[in-house]
Structure formats: C-alpha cells, structure tokens
Chain A
C-alpha cells in the first residue's frame, strides 16, 4: 500500500491533476457563432424573397420580360459543390489517420469549390448580358443579393481552405484549424440547396 493511500481514504483522496479537455475548440466555437449570424442573414433574405414573391400579381415568377435562370446548368454546378463537401468529409477522416494523406482530398475539394464559383461567375456574366441587373427588378435584386452573398461566402471559405492546404503542406495544420475552416465550407455547401430551391425554382 502506498503512502498516499495510507494518508487518505480512497473516497477522500485528491483527484490527480489533469488538464481538462476543452469541451469545444475556441476556433470552432467562434466559427459556430459566426455561422449562426450568417444563417440568420440568409434566413432574412429568403423570408423577404418569399414575401415579395407571394405579392406578385398572378404568381408570375420570374416576372414578365425578365430572363429565365439557367436551372439545369446550375443543378449540375450544384452537384460539384455537394461533392466538394463530401470530399471534405473524407479529408477530415484522412487527416485523423495520417495528416499527409489529407492533401489530395483537400486539394480536390478546393478545386471543386473553385469550379462552382467560376461557373457562377460565368452565369452572372450571361445574365447581365441578357439585361438582368441589380436595378432591373426585384427579381434581379434578390437574385444578385442572395446568390452573390453566397458566392462571397464561398470565396471566403475557399481562401480558408487554401490556407489550410498551405499549412498542411508545411506540416503545421492542427485538427482544430482544419475543423474550423471545414465547418465554414460545410455551411456554404449546406445552405446552397435551400437557396437554389428558393431562387431558381
């Protein structure tokens, strides 16, 4: 029997000093709070869009004389975004096994995301040429505001993923950092189907 157990009965023995595991990483918590605000930003836009659309006489949407949105092409493009999110999940599991194995899936995820943003840019160029602008109608205003807001978030998230890829290359990327930037990309990926359903269909 050790000296310690002779001094204290087992139930009164002081617990060994142990650094408590954080409930949630600071970066992840910060990103979570930021995402909450962004969810409400898009929820407000979607709500305004829903109400304005319900006030259109005869429920004619898009309004007469306004160009139609490329529904099919954007659906294919949306698939690239969704696959990018799925590949990022694989990146996480690969990172947990061996960080160096996460490089290829992370790069693939970034490339798919870039394809999505690039195609959206091409779509905007075509729609602007057809006369759909921010001032042309509430239809155009909502389209550019909602889809543009999402594109801005997508670019921000891609910058974060590119930074994570750079850190991974240097061998300095931590699980917390990868989790934080991935969470933002998941938000970009998951909010898009709802925006697509409301704005395009």
Chain B
C-alpha cells in the first residue's frame, strides 16, 4: 500500500514538475506536428529500453520458476526412488 502511494506520488511529481519548470524547449513550438513529434519520440525513446529490459526480466523470472519447479519434481522422484 505504502509502496503504491510512493509510486503514484512519484508519477504525479514527474507529471507536474516539468510543466511548472517549462523546461521543454520544444513544447511550445508553433507547429503542432513538430510539437507532437517531439513528445511522441521522447516517450518512445524513454519507454522502449524500459520495455525491453522489463520484458526480458519477466521472461527470465518465469524461466527460472519453470526450471525450479522441474527441479523440485525431479528431486521428489529421486527421493521416492531412493526410498523404494
């Protein structure tokens, strides 16, 4: 719960602060197309690496779980065979 609030707070801060700072040099371009292009490519280049790393991280986590489950079931078989 607390962690969720921190994440939401951080996201809100990120959403509000740049607007106050007017830090973006291209956010006020006269051309709508240019402004949209800058915003879209900024989002694209920011999220793409996060998506790739996150996707591979999730895939590796699932793979480790799968291997561990296979290992546990194999060990159970070993013990049953030893007991027999």
Task: Give A contacts to B, CB under 8 Å.
Answer: 1-2, 4-5, 10, 13, 15-16, 18, 20-21, 23-24, 32, 36, 39-40, 43-44, 46-47, 50-51, 53-55, 59
Task: Give B contacts to A, CB under 8 Å.
Answer: 31, 33-34, 36-38, 40-41, 44-45, 48-49, 52-53, 56, 60, 63-64, 67, 70-71, 74-75, 78-79, 82-83
Given A23-B63, A50-B40: 16 more A-B contacts, CB < 8 Å: A4-B82, A5-B82, A20-B67, A21-B67, A23-B64, A32-B56, A36-B49, A36-B52, A36-B53, A39-B52, A40-B48, A44-B45, A47-B45, A50-B41, A51-B41, A55-B31
A-B residue pair count with CB separations less than 8 angstroms: 58
Nearest 5 A/B pairs, CB to CB: A54-B37, A47-B41, A54-B33, A54-B34, A51-B37
Q: A32-B56, A50-B40 are in contact. Are A40 and B49 (CB under 8 A)?
A: yes
Query: How far in angstroms is the closest Cβ of chain A from B72?
Result: 10
Contact residues in A for B79 (Cβ distance below 8 Å):
10, 13
Residue in A1, A2, A20, A47 whose Cβ sees the most chain B Cβ within 10 Å:
A47
Query: How far in angstroms is the closest Cβ of chain B from A32?
Result: 6
